[in-house]
Amino acid sequence: MTFTRSLALVLVSVVAQGCIEPDDVSYGEVASEVSVSTYVRSGCSTAVVLGLSRQIADEVACMNPRALTSFAPGGRLTITSNAVLPYLAPTAKTALERVTANSSIQVNSGFRTVAQQYLLYQWYRQGRCGITAAATPGRSNHQSGRALDVANYSSRITAMRNAGWSHPIPNDPVHFDHTSSPDIRGEDVLAFQRLWNRNNPNDRIDEDGMYGSDTEARLRVAPATGFARGASCNTGFDVGGAKVLSVDGPDRVAPNAHATYSITLQNTGATSWPSTTRVVVADGTASEIYDPASWTSPTEVGPINTAIPAGGTGVIDIEIETPAVTEETPVFAQLALSDGSEQFGTLNVALTVTPNGDHEQSAEAGDQHDDESAHTTGGCNAGGASSGFAALLGPMLFGLVRRRRR
């Protein structure tokens, strides 16, 4: 396990594409942090924007406390990647629980923020990550907490339908909608606008919940791990004294292979964490992702090696070895920080082990049709000839080149 400094200075090089504006360095303080646009051309997991996405989810909860509720893996429910933000509309969560009472469900994606949808859409436009189509930011039902992508969909369509989930699109097979839950699309955009204005009082934008060019320009330069000032009410998606701001690592890994997950953590408590702070398996059992080469034991990853001060952030690199499975298998490991006697924060690693190999794929691929209204809200992507053409071609290409999905 190694330890590196927090929030490295990253120079973002941007090539103007379509009508997207090049980065503007006038946004001041955030320019020194890793911005969302850093990931437009690298990586395939939206877990890199978890910190910002959690702030957006928190802000939605501040504005509309009953809009979203969290769900946790366990029992018959598994989560296939670190990018999954485990929130749904309460009625959608209840409908999911009706299914998992009797059937296993592997969740690829639930609630998504505009920051996640922005990256997925940009990756789609570049033909990256196996994403052959994506809803424009602001228009996905995932942004309303009323959609789910299910990895093992093929054997669950009837059970999901019986619980109120529609399976509307033949060529987006992982996607299910729960349209009897409220449509709150736009609230995540409004939440981002409020966060931006709170942190950039000299560069205020309209708080209208509409995804347009002003919002997109700020989203690109927003810090991926979150703003200095977060949600205005503390609803506490913050576990213990450790807040996970991002997880950078692959969603999909071959069996018997090694991978590294760089987890950016914030110490939100009042006590500094010494370098001897240990990362252990939360439930104390031998981990499926135990790496004999780097871990202290099957139940302990090892010390963090460098202190993280109260209020500070740091990056912990966790190396893993995947199990030798022969079928596609989601693996979820809950790790915890420990002072030797007590655990005080959790960090999760979630991935899918892929015997057939899936490099540079996103677990969140798909979803071109989750915008059931096909209505765009203006802004850069609304009327551009190239994006319109791509939107028309998307479903056709999707049928031809769609990757294995089972």
**Interacting residues toward Zn ion by CB under 5 A:** 147, 149, 175, 367
What are the distances in angstroms from CA 231 to CA 190, 237, 266? 12, 11, 16
Structure tokens at 350: 């979630």
**Nearer Cβ to Zn ion, position 23 or 149?**
149
Structure tokens at 396: 């056709």
Please name the amino acid found at residue 78. Answer: T
**Nearer Cβ to Zn ion, position 257 or 397?**
397
C-beta of 370: minimal distance to Zn ion in Å? 5
SS3 sequence of 339-362: CCCCEEEEEEEEEEECCCCCCCCC
H/E element, 334: strand 329-338
CA distance 82 to 263: 10
Beta strands 329-338 and 343-353 are antiparallel
Which single residue brings its beta carbon nearest to Zn ion?
175
**Nearer Cβ to Zn ion, position 78 or 277?**
78
C-beta of 55: minimal distance to Zn ion in Å? 23
C-beta of 148: minimal distance to Zn ion in Å? 7
Q: Which of 360, 301, 379 is nearest to 333 (CA)?
A: 301
C-beta of 13: minimal distance to Zn ion in Å? 31
Sheet holding 278-281, edge to edge: 252-253, 343-353, 329-338, 278-281, 300-303
**Nearer Cβ to Zn ion, position 86 or 223?**
86
Beta bridge partners of 149: 109, 175
**Nearer Cβ to Zn ion, position 120 or 351?**
120
**Nearer Cβ to Zn ion, position 116 or 215?**
116
C-beta of 192: minimal distance to Zn ion in Å? 20
C-beta of 149: minimal distance to Zn ion in Å? 4
C-beta of 109: minimal distance to Zn ion in Å? 6
Reported for 339-345, long-range contacts at CB under 8 A and 24+ positions apart, including other chains, are: 339/277, 339/278, 340/276, 340/278, 343/240, 343/280, 343/282, 344/240, 344/241, 344/242, 344/269, 345/239, 345/240, 345/241, 345/242, 345/265
**Nearer Cβ to Zn ion, position 134 or 231?**
134
**Nearer Cβ to Zn ion, position 150 or 219?**
150
Per the CB < 8 A criterion, the answer to whether 112 and 85 are in contact is yes
C-beta of 85: minimal distance to Zn ion in Å? 13
CA distance 393 to 403: 17
C-beta of 304: minimal distance to Zn ion in Å? 36
**Nearer Cβ to Zn ion, position 147 or 316?**
147
Extract the runs of DSSP E, i.e. beta strands, from 163-299.
175-177, 242-248, 252-253, 258-267, 278-281
Contacts of 239 (CB under 8 A, 6+ apart): 345, 346
**Nearer Cβ to Zn ion, position 149 or 328?**
149
Per the CB < 8 A criterion, the answer to whether 96 and 105 are in contact is yes
C-beta of 174: minimal distance to Zn ion in Å? 6
Measured in degrees and rounded to the nearest 5, phi and psi for residue 307 equal -70, 145
